[in-house]
Amino acid sequence: MPRWVMACGLLLLAWALGFGLVALHVAWLLVPIAWLSVAALLRVGESLLDRLIAGALVITGFVMAAGLVFSVWPWGLDPAPVAGVTLSAVVLAGVLSGRRPRLPRPQWRDAVPVGASLVITTLAALPYLRATDFAGVLGAMMSGEDSSRHASLVDQIRDIGAYTFIHPRMTSDILNPGMSDYPQGWHLVAAIIENLLTSTTRLGSGENGIVLLVVLMLATFFALMLVVTWGAGRVAGPRRSPGAYLLIVLGAGWLAAWSELVRTMVYTYPAEMACLAFLGALVVAVVRPAVKVRDQIVLIAALTIGVGSTYYLFLPIAVVIAVGGVIMDRRRMRRVPFSVAAGVLVAGLSAAQAAAAVVLGKRDEQIAVGALGDIRPIEIALFALLIIAGVVLGRRRPAWRRYAVPLVTALAAAVGILLYQVLSGGDPGYYFGKMLHVVVLVLILGVAAVGEVAGPALRRLSSRPRVRTTAAVGVLAVFAVGQIVFGIPSLTDFPWLTSQAAAKTGLPSQARTIVAVHRACPTDPDRPTVVFFSDPEQRYGYSESIFLAALQRQAGRGYRVAYSLPWSSVEKRADAIVRRATKPVRIVVGDEGARAALATALRASPERAANVELVDLAAITTSGQCQTVAP
């Protein structure tokens, strides 16, 4: 059969499959179908896990790039055409490459990184797993206020069927203005997955959307931990003994579990989690490149796109690492100049849109921000041992010389941000902490360097490899169990994983208030709802207001009366809310102090009285009635 006939038949089958599964309301099956198909066509690594991880990252990265097309074609993110195009791209890749789909057999080594990552993710997910109702899930998610804005961004992308920075005038009441130019690759993929799960682009229940967001955040955190544990074993090299491989992977998992990387899950930073996963895989791809040069180009391009589409700050690091990898492979790259040009063009398109969003949104000015940052000198000092080990080995081993490129790049980026913040007149802060996350990630991926340097000393202690490995794994297990059970201090100044597992980071009482108000007071499309308390310890109801707005999909309409309000006193905050009520607003009054402050503010601005509706929170919590009260 001629190749073009086979290609046409497969393309028809791809589109029929896409539309058929959507019509049967099982469109979610397209996710594993596309993932396994891409993994079966790639020739990256030797094991099944190598192919599966590469396949997932490649298809995710290119879907983020395809989002630029989905944002301007007439069908938006409709699941059927999106599925048809995605499967068609997979078919064309298989036909043009002439490869037959093939996956290696599973091995025991594949299970080690997966098992270690599942354990870490399960500990991080315990607050959600313990939840008995939606309020429990919401309370656990409220450990980081960013999750409210991420939920709104996913809903907004689903609503307009496009990246919001491409159609800024189409943003509605769903999204607050500060998120329209935020990096949205992760959110676009989340929106597509939700469309596939529901087989529609219509927004459903706000509660179901929040639950799905939590599931996707946990899946992203698992992907990050998997890249770290799998990547450490792959960077170490394929010729490791079973005991050495086990020790390297478990050691990397232990370091990751008690490092600052867990903060990304506790504070709900899904975009940064996804970006770190792409960046970690890029480090692995440069240190241990694919045998087939075209696969290497595809992998580097997809990973660079993923970084640029999920977190703009890390894109320069990714570009330097990717270019460094291409330069080190320049002899192979010369054989396929057109493939190199195509990869550079596709990756450059992602970099261009990221750079445009940074400049147009003036996000470059935020780099000097020094607030909300945390520096972990203990963690960095311990990981500095890896740098020393890498330098010692780099003189004689090609893999460690390649590893020096991402290591030096990450360190230089962190020092650059540090100097910029200090010279701008501030203290090292928020974005310096983000750069430390990159440094920690790169150092954990090189954890095998310590074993290389310490190997001769360990051999003097015992001539039996099994004894050495068993002793090392035993010591590691004791430390891990001690940290989980007894709360032994972690490598950081704060044990993030222990606190998360013990549910010390959520806001359960605030979540119950939000759910009670949401279910008692019907959502009014013309009247956003905010919660107001007089107690500064309750942050005047700020957390309740922004999460309620996300749940009711009114973050944009309620932005003026929820954000950037005074924190100095309840009177000034109440006055600011009333003065900003140029349009109708519903205020849920949490206590008598709040009611008195609002009454004073309304007497000072009587022209706003017609726009303000006051609701008693006590009536909601006791009787479930949304009762309007007089000031």
In order, the DSSP letters of 368-415 are G--TT----HHHHHHHHHHHHHHHHHHTT-HHHHHHHHHHHHHHHHHH
> Can you give the pLDDT at residue 344?
73
Is 80 exceeded by the pLDDT of residue 511? Answer: yes
488: left (phi over 0), alpha (psi -120 to 50) or beta: beta
Q: Token pair for residue 163?
A: 């990246």
Write down the mean pLDDT value for the chain. 82
The identity of residue 377, as a single letter, is P
Q: Which own/partner contact pairs does 70-75 have at CB distance under 8 Å and 24+ positions apart?
A: 70/161, 70/162, 70/188, 71/161, 71/162, 71/163, 71/166, 71/167, 72/162, 72/166, 75/161
3-state secondary structure of 527: strand
pLDDT, tens digit, 9 for 90 and up, residues 103-112: 999 998 899 9
The identity of residue 5, as a single letter, is V
Which residues lie across from 616 on neighbouring strands?
589
127-to-214, 253, 315 alpha-carbon distances in Å? 11, 21, 33
pLDDT, tens digit, 9 for 90 and up, residues 372-419: 344 455 455 556 666 666 666 666 677 778 888 898 899 888 888 878
Of 23-37, 270-284, 410-424, the one with minimum mean pLDDT is 410-424
Q: State the average pLDDT over residues 311-323.
A: 89
Token pair 């799960």 in the structure block, residue: 197
pLDDT, tens digit, 9 for 90 and up, residues 563-589: 888 888 899 999 999 999 888 999 999
> Can you give the pLDDT at residue 399?
77
In order, the DSSP letters of 56-81 are HHHHHHHHHHHHHHHTTSTTTT-HHH
Higher pLDDT, residue 205 or 240: 205
Is 60 exceeded by the pLDDT of residue 349? Answer: yes
Three-point CA angle 355, 446, 333, nearest 5°: 55
Is 50 exceeded by the pLDDT of residue 330? Answer: yes
pLDDT, tens digit, 9 for 90 and up, residues 180-229: 888 899 999 999 999 999 888 888 888 899 999 999 999 999 999 999 99
How far is the first Cα of the chain from the last one, in angstroms, to the nearest whole number? 80
Is 90 exceeded by the pLDDT of residue 536? Answer: no
Q: What span, in angstroms and rounded, lies between the C-alpha atoms of 9 and 304?
A: 33
> Can you give the pLDDT at residue 482?
55
pLDDT, tens digit, 9 for 90 and up, residues 30-56: 999 999 999 999 988 889 999 999 999
Token pair 């997910």 in the structure block, residue: 125
Highest-confidence range of 54-58, 463-467, 603-607, by mean pLDDT? 54-58
> Can you give the pLDDT at residue 489?
47
pLDDT, tens digit, 9 for 90 and up, residues 88-136: 888 888 887 778 888 999 998 899 999 999 999 998 998 899 888 999 9
Q: State the average pLDDT over residues 271-296.
A: 92
pLDDT, tens digit, 9 for 90 and up, residues 474-501: 555 655 555 555 444 444 455 677 777 7
| 457 pLDDT tier (thresholds 50, 70, 90) | very low
> Can you give the pLDDT at residue 370?
42
Higher pLDDT, residue 631 or 607: 607
Higher pLDDT, residue 491 or 87: 87
Output b/e per residue, 257-268; b: 16+ Cβ within 10 A.
bbbbbbbbbbbb
pLDDT, tens digit, 9 for 90 and up, residues 537-569: 888 889 999 999 999 999 888 888 888 888 888
> Can you give the pLDDT at residue 397?
74
Q: Token pair for residue 545?
A: 């207001």
CB atoms within 10 A of CB 236: 25
Q: State the average pLDDT over residues 521-536.
A: 88
> Can you give the pLDDT at residue 36?
93
> Can you give the pLDDT at residue 433?
80
What is the enclosing helix (H) or strand (E) of 217? helix 206-236
Highest-confidence range of 76-90, 396-410, 616-630, by mean pLDDT? 76-90
User: Quick check: pTM over 0.85?
Assistant: yes
> Can you give the pLDDT at residue 312?
84
Domains, the chain, ordered by start: 3-104+216-356 (no CATH), 508-629 (3.40.50)
> Can you give the pLDDT at residue 194?
94
Torsion of CA 533, 538, 540, 544, to 10 degrees: -90
| Cα of 404 vs its chain's centroid, Å | 26
> Can you give the pLDDT at residue 241?
77
Is 60 exceeded by the pLDDT of residue 535? Answer: yes
> Can you give the pLDDT at residue 27?
87
> Can you give the pLDDT at residue 392?
67
The identity of residue 439, as a single letter, is V
> Can you give the pLDDT at residue 498?
73
Is 70 exceeded by the pLDDT of residue 468? Answer: no
Question: Helices 30-41 and 48-70, interaxial angle, to 10°?
Answer: 120
Assign 3-class secondary structure to 452-506: HHHHHHHHHHCCCHHHHHHHHHHHHHHHHHHHHHHCCCCCCCCCHHHHHHCCCCC
| 458 pLDDT tier (thresholds 50, 70, 90) | very low
Is 80 exceeded by the pLDDT of residue 451? Answer: no
Q: Contact, 182 vs 57, CB < 8 A?
A: no
